[in-house]
Amino acid sequence: MSFQDLNGTFVLDSDKSDNMEAFLEAVGVGWIKRKAIAALSQTLVITATEESVTIVTKTTMADNTTTIPIGAEPVTLDDLSGNPAKYTARYEGATLIVESTNDVGTITIKRTVVGSVLETAIGFVSANGATKIDINRYFNKQ
pLDDT, tens only, 98-141 = 999 999 999 999 999 999 999 999 999 999 999 999 999 999 99
Full domain range(s) for residue 77: 3-141
Q: Parallel, antiparallel, or unpaired: how do β-strands 63-69 and 42-48 relate? A: unpaired
Q: With a cut of 80, say whether residue 2 has pLDDT above it.
A: no
Please give the sequence-ordered ranges of beta strands (E in DSSP) within 1-72, or none if there are none: 8-12, 42-48, 52-59, 63-69
pTM beyond 0.85, yes or no? yes
pLDDT confidence bin for 70, thresholds 50/70/90: very high
Count: domains in the chain: 1
CATH number of the domain that 83 lies in?
Answer: 2.40.128.20
pLDDT, tens only, 13-67 = 999 999 888 888 888 888 988 888 777 789 999 999 999 999 999 988 889 899 9
